Amino acid sequence: MKISIRIACLLALASFFYGPYSEAKDPSKTPFRCDIAKPALTAGKLSSCSDSVAWSYGLDEIRKSNPELFEKTVQEQVAANPNVGSGVFTLPDGTKKTIYRSSFLSNAPACIKELVSKGGVRSVVNLYNMGDLESHTQLSIDEKAQFQKAGAQVYTDILNYQYKFKEVKKERIIDKVAEIVSVVQSVPGNVLMHCYGGMHRTGLVFAVMQKCFNKVPLAQVLNEYHCHVAYENEERAGGRSKDNEEVIRDFPCDKLSP
């Protein structure tokens, strides 16, 4: 009895000084906090351009059993979640360039107009061409027409850009990313860069530019990557690609020419 009383007293004292006892939290379930790069490195939000992003769990099973439903689901998800972000990059020659990122914006005409009128976007770099989602062809045609009508000058399609190790070796992915960064540097004006959903192909290139041009610490680069793939925690990791993360970590910045 005396021992029980002593234990109770000790617990009461511990609660007084350190707060009530609770079981240790599982780090894999800790809520993710999205910390975008500090304001000096972003262009800020445009009122017509949403940064919403979503990931539908179970899509892989739907893809195997019903490819048509899979593509329709992805299209609807992308239309509802533009996944817009931005970065102000200091290029090797010392000039600054604003790069916006997103999913296909064919269903976001107000955002397209604002990107051109307020964001200074004069070039679009489409990273999703000849992919496995057939709808990309019409999405690209519609989007290109809208951007040209709004006043953009260049619409560039990047061919044969894969990001999974099962499809292409890491060294070839690194070479392709360096090639894409060179294109983004060379096209006129500010740039919108996107793939289908704005997650993997876009996230990889954007992260490499943050790492190599803006010298953003790797932890923050990966945090921003997670923001745009609907990552919640290790158990609900959204569209996170570990292949993407490995390339981001290992990308040699001297591959990016001045």
> Residue 208 is part of which domain span?
37-55+81-255
Residue 102 has pLDDT above 80, yes or no: yes
218 within a domain of the structure (yes/no): yes
Which pLDDT score is estimated for 1? 46
3-state class (DSSP) for residue 86: strand
| DSSP calls for 88-125 | EEE-TTS-EEEEEEES--TT-HHHHHHHHHTT-EEEEE
* Structure-token match 């019409």, residue found: 138
Which pLDDT score is estimated for 38? 61
13 within a domain of the structure (yes/no): no
d(CA 226, CA 86): 15
Least confident of 4-13, 79-88, 113-122, 233-242: 4-13
- By DSSP bridging, strand 154-157 and strand 121-126 are parallel
* Structure-token match 């600054």, residue found: 96
Least confident of 3-7, 57-61, 102-106, 168-172: 3-7
* Structure-token match 């999913």, residue found: 103
- Contact criterion met (CB below 8 Å) for 87 and 96: no
How many residues in total does the chain contain? 258
Q: What is the pTM of this model?
A: 0.86
d(CA 99, CA 227): 17
7 within a domain of the structure (yes/no): no
Looking up residue 248, the CATH number of its domain turns out to be: 3.90.190.10
d(CA 55, CA 51): 14
152 within a domain of the structure (yes/no): yes
105 within a domain of the structure (yes/no): yes
Residue 242 has pLDDT above 60, yes or no: yes
Q: What is the pLDDT of residues 36-81, one digit of tens each?
A: 666 557 787 899 999 999 998 888 888 889 999 999 999 999 999 9
236 within a domain of the structure (yes/no): yes
29 within a domain of the structure (yes/no): no
Query: What stretch of H or E contains 192?
Result: strand 190-194
Residue 141 tokens, joined: 């045609």
Which pLDDT score is estimated for 22? 41
Residue 42 backbone class (left: φ over 0; alpha: ψ -120 to 50; beta: rest): beta
Handedness of CA 61, 162, 196, 221 (dihedral sign): positive
For residue 192, which of 134, 256, 115 has the smallest C-alpha distance?
A: 115
Residue 247 tokens, joined: 């390339």
Q: Number of folded domains in the chain?
A: 1
Crossing angle (nearest 10°) for helices 242-250 and 170-186:
70
Greatest mean pLDDT among 55-64, 85-94, 141-150 lies in 141-150
6 within a domain of the structure (yes/no): no
